Structure 1
Amino acid sequence: MSGPVVVGFDSSASSFAAVETAAHEAQLRGVGLRVVHAFTWPSRQTPLGRSRLGPAEAGLHDLAEHIVAEAVEYAQNVEPEVEVVHTIVIDDPLTVLEAQSHDAELIVVGSHGLGSFAGLLVGSTAVHLAAHSRCPVLVVRGRPGPEGPVLLAVDGSPEGEEAVSFAFAEASLREAGLLALHVWNTWTDRAYEGPGDPLNMVVDIDRHRDEEERVLAEALSGHRARYPEVTVHQRSVRSRIRPALIEASRSAQLLVVGARGRGGFAGLLLGSVSQAVLHHSHCPVTVVRAPE
């Protein structure tokens, strides 16, 4: 039996967008939706439940229940057939989401937040969640092209195999096309185009291009047979990684990347490439981590 779709919620506009996306994802998969709100106890004097010195709403837990009730109602309005439950946890949100990922099929979060989930994509937080979650993490951002394809970043590594599988399954669920993009370069994240390119003097670019196209074809071959209903367009491009991915995301409804890789996408979630994708993609991004 598949686990639920889990969404982190803090009542910000971004988290409402995450709830809407999560409800759609749950409906597509035929699973339930779990709305998770995490908060920390700011001081020992803050009442956690109903206070004898004030109205019931004075307690942190009462406030949390009210916050989550909004999300549950919103999700039920978006997808009435999806079963929605909620969980309130007193702990650090990152720790909570990691724990929730153990039995979830997908975790959905907004790109910005308030309170407990504030700064989810600032610094190392998003990197840490994507690197340690036991299930794929979908970050809702940008304006997805509803008629666009699922965009898959392919690097041909064993670690990226899970991302390929996820992208094919997602394209099938959405009844969308799949654009498999393999961005490659020689040695550095830059591309020379002119005949004076010094790399052209020491590297057989045509042979290199043929090899990269083979890597792309091999990464997709087995999945094409399992998902014959998915129309696949594959593209192998010699370019800089970040601009190529960001530009391709303009017309996509979802960008799928692996948590780790090699070649063109090496260190995708460890440095500037991951930050660029998470902060500048024009559509939602799903990060898929290979199983341990």
Structure 2
Amino acid sequence: MTSPDILRSPESAIGRGAVVVGFDGSERSRHAVHWAAREAASRGARLLVVNVIRGPFPEVVVTPVSMPLPQLVGEQAVRAYTKDHLAELAAECARVAPGVDVDTRAFDGHPAAVLAEAGREAQLLVVGSTGATGLARVFAGSVTADLAHHFGGPLVVVRDSEDHRDAEYGRDTDDGRGAEDGRGADDGRVVVGVDGSEPSDRAVEFAVDHVSRHGGVLVGVHATTGLPVDAMAPGGAWGQGLGLGLDLDQLRTAADALVAESLAGPLSRHPGVRAERVV
């Protein structure tokens, strides 16, 4: 469903249970929408596409000298353009992920704030990667950075690539479809950092669930110096070359046990997932 209105703020729980994805009209965000559509289909979830437009909207803009007639771009014109654009995007999602329930909404506001609110009760919030250079990096990058720092739920930043390959879905065809079975190659690797903390446990749970649906191999990684923080500071024991009596084998064994323990619970709930540990 495509709303004809540019709303001022997301209504309560608009994204509850959905996969929510931000769209700003760029190719990188379009790629993110396609990724999110396939992800929603794999979860049996609704897809909510959110387009954020920054007002106010001027009523008239003078076009270049080669086109001297004024062009109406007030809110009514922006609303009509946005509705058509989102309807087109919804049709693309239906081709990319047949059967997925697609909902689209447009809002006037700060992109990061709107997306965070829309995704507050979502299964997942998805955004595109930043542009390579220039203003695209400044504006898109600030939204992604804001969400990474402040959004409390699962956040996926979809990186576009030159050949538009989705590692977990296979190569896109001309019509936007991925691999026939929607799964990636069996040797695809999903790498998750493990440190035993609560945020790390949530990341592990997410990664295991992802591999269970898309295939591949889960790789749990833990890295540590084994040193207290103050030893790493300028003038600390490490900087002065002082021996600290570290038993690297013991540290490695303890770290491997930490990774194994962190993976054990999620893997028991998804017994078909293959996993490796790297310390």
Return the TM-score normalized by structure 2. 0.70
1:78 aligned to 2:92? no
Q: Do residues 229 (structure 1) and 248 (structure 2) align?
A: no
- Confirm or deny: 8 A CA contact 1:111 1:120 kept in the other structure: no
Quote the Cα distance in structure 2 between the aligned partners of 1:68 and 1:88.
9
Partner of 1:183: 223
Residues 148-179 of structure 1: CA deviation (Å, up to 9, x unaligned): 12211112212211111111111111132211
The one-letter code matched in structure 1 to 2:158 is: V
In structure 2, give the amino acid aligned to 1:216: V
- Please give the alpha-carbon distance, in whole angstroms, between the structure 2 residues aligned to 1:39 and 1:55: 13
Q: Which moved more, 1:34-43 or 1:10-19?
A: 34-43
Structure 1 segment 262-281 matched on structure 2, within 5 A: none
Structure 2 residue 184 is the aligned partner of structure 1 residue 151: no
Shift in Å at residue 20 of structure 1? 1.0
Query: Structure 2: 5+ residue runs without aligned partners?
Result: 1-14, 62-70, 168-183, 233-239
Identity rate of aligned residues, in percent? Answer: 32
Q: Pairwise mapping of residues 235-246 of structure 1 onto structure 2 (< 5 A)?
A: 235-236=278-279
Check 1:103–1:46 CA distance in 2 against 1; reply closer, same or farther (3 A cut): farther
Counterpart Cα distance in 2 of 1:113 and 1:62 = 27
What CA distance in whole angstroms lies between the structure 1 residues aligned with 2:74 and 2:57? Answer: 19
Amino acid at match of 1:173: R
Q: Give the structure with the larger helix fraction.
A: 1
**Which shows bigger deviation, 105-114 or 81-90?**
105-114
2:147 corresponds to 1:107 = no
Which position in structure 2 is the counterpart of 1:163? 203
Q: Matches of 1:186 and 1:121 in 2, distance apart? A: 37
Superposed, 1:61-100 pairs within 5 Å as 61-100=79-118
Name the CA shift for 1:144/1:230 in 2 (closer, same or farther; >3 Å): same
Determine the C-alpha separation between the residues in 2 that align with 1:175 and 1:159: 23
Quote the residue 1:39 is aligned against: 53
Following the alignment from structure 1 to structure 2, what is the Cα–Cα distance between the partners of residues 22 and 65?
20
Partner of 2:254: 211
How much is the aligned-residue C-alpha RMSD, in angstroms?
3.1
For 2:140 and 2:262, the matched residues in 1 are separated by: 30
1:202 aligns with 2:216: no
Which portions of structure 1, spanning 4 or more consecutive aligned residues, are displaced by more than 6 angstroms? 55-58
Query: One-letter code of the match for 1:82?
Result: V
d(CA) in 2 for partners of 1:152, 1:199 = 33
The residue that corresponds to 1:28 in the other structure is: 42
Larger C-alpha radius of gyration, 1 or 2? 2
Is the alpha carbon distance of 1:55 and 1:131 closer, same or farther for their aligned partners in structure 2, counting shifts above 3 Å? Answer: closer
Q: Which has the higher contact order (CA 8 A, sep 6+)?
A: 1
After superposition, the C-alpha distances for 1:257-290 in whole angstroms (9 at most, x for unaligned) are xxxxxxxxxxxxxxxxxxxxxxxxxxxxxxxxxx
Q: Distance in 2 between matches of 1:205 and 1:224?
A: 28
| Residue pair 1:93, 1:117 contacting (<8 A) in 2 also | no
Aligned CA distance change for structure 1 residues 163 and 108 (closer, same or farther; 3 Å): same
Alignment partner of 1:139 is 2:182: no
How many residue pairs get aligned? The number is 222
Q: Is the 8 A contact 1:37 1:87 kept in 2?
A: yes
